């Protein structure tokens, strides 16, 4: 048994393992400077942070000694211990965020080197309501913040119309993976404008002054349900002051459209309704 001293108090490093959740004794890792970097705990301990009191089984630290990430649970999934088993141990945590106080179950939480909140990663099935430049949005998977406390990105919990430089786009990524909440499909810049959005429910038209119109729609791929069926692939639209960039699927190049030579329009894209049985996702 080893007690580790940090600026947040003393913690007992993991020194035993069990047959189900924690099959291995994970090492304590240090930065080159000697400051602790990763600390697996023997049992869940409470960490007092600027965002509130958070239970932890694994803590990582920045090189300056401030907390980087906290994981309330750190079990190892296997054929004998499933995600559902781990989720049953998760308890709601109350967090003070730049968007207000929330109570939810989290996989992890991260902080910048100055201890301001960087991101929150939610357990699958959890949703929270976040105040954003686009209004209050129901959020799943995760949300991230800038060092100044502004919402940087989030994962919409349901199809959500947002205003962009390319018109109103319904934001939703059915393929979103909840690894962490640091980077999500709906992204805002410092001014609050949408600079990246993923959609399967909107198409974008770009009109050139010479009358040429280019239409961008989400692509399709072979469905996991059957080789004879297809499903819609999320389309990513990025924008800045000079151009709008569209990728209709992961295997296609990005189309770059200068803002000063195009006029943009958006409209609903609902192939699922026109060809419902063929376009339906297996998970729906």
Under the banding of pLDDT at 50, 70 and 90, the label for residue 48 is very high
Residues 205-224 have pLDDT tens digits of 999 989 899 999 999 888 76
Write out the two tokens for 76: 């190892």
115: left (phi over 0), alpha (psi -120 to 50) or beta: left
Residues 239-276 have pLDDT tens digits of 999 999 999 988 889 999 999 999 999 999 987 654 44
**What's the distance, Cα to Cα, between the start and end of the chain in Å?**
49
Residue spans of the domains in the chain: they are 3-158
Interatomic CA distance for residues 154 and 140, integer angstroms = 8
CA distances from 78 to 13, 19, 91, 121, 180 (A): 23, 11, 21, 22, 20
Across the range 42-64, mean pLDDT stands at 97
Residue 180 is predicted with a pLDDT of: 82
- Which contacts qualify for 45-51: CB closer than 8 Å, 24 or more apart? 45/11, 45/12, 47/8, 47/9, 48/8, 48/9, 49/8, 49/109, 49/111, 49/115, 50/96, 50/111, 50/115, 50/116, 50/117, 51/95, 51/96, 51/97, 51/109, 51/111, 51/117
Instruction: Quote the pTM value.
Output: 0.91
Residues 160-211 have pLDDT tens digits of 999 999 999 999 999 998 678 899 999 999 999 999 999 999 999 999 989 8
Phi, psi of 10 (to 5 degrees): -95, 140
Q: Minimal CA–CA distance to 239: which of 223, 254, 224?
A: 254
Are 143 and 130 in contact, with CB atoms under 8 Å apart? yes
* CA triple 34-35-37, angle to 5 deg: 115
Phi, psi of 153 (to 5 degrees): -160, 160
Alpha-carbon 132 to chain mean position: 15
Under the banding of pLDDT at 50, 70 and 90, the label for residue 76 is confident
Under the banding of pLDDT at 50, 70 and 90, the label for residue 226 is low
Give SS3 for 52.
strand
């Amino acid at each position: 048994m080893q007690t580790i001293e940090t600026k947040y108090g003393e913690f007992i490093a993991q020194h035993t393992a069990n047959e189900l959740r924690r099959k291995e004794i994970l090492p304590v890792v240090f930065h080159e400077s000697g400051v602790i970097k990763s600390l697996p705990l023997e049992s869940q301990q409470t960490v007092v942070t600027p965002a509130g009191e958070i239970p932890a089984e694994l803590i990582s630290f920045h090189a300056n000694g401030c907390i980087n990430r906290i994981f309330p649970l750190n079990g190892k999934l296997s054929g004998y211990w499933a995600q559902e088993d781990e989720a049953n141990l998760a308890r709601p945590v109350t967090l003070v965020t730049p968007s207000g106080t929330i109570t939810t179950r989290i996989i992890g939480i991260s902080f910048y080197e100055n201890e301001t909140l960087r991101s929150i990663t939610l357990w699958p099935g959890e949703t929270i309501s976040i105040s954003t430049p686009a209004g209050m949005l129901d959020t799943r998977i995760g949300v991230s913040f800038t060092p100044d406390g502004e919402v940087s990105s989030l994962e919409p919990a349901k199809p959500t119309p947002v205003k962009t430089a390319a018109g109103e786009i319904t934001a939703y990524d059915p393929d979103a993976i909840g690894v962490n909440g640091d980077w999500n499909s709906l992204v805002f810049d410092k001014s609050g404008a949408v600079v990246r959005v993923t959609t399967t429910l909107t198409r974008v038209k770009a009109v050139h002054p010479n009358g040429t119109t280019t239409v961008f729609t989400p692509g399709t791929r072979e469905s996991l349900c059957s080789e004879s069926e297809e499903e819609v692939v999320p389309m990513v639209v990025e924008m800045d002051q000079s151009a709008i960039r569209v990728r209709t699927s992961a295997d296609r190049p990005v189309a770059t459209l200068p803002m000063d030579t195009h006029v943009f329009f958006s409209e609903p894209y609902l192939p699922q309704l026109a060809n419902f049985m063929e376009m339906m996702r297996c998970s729906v």
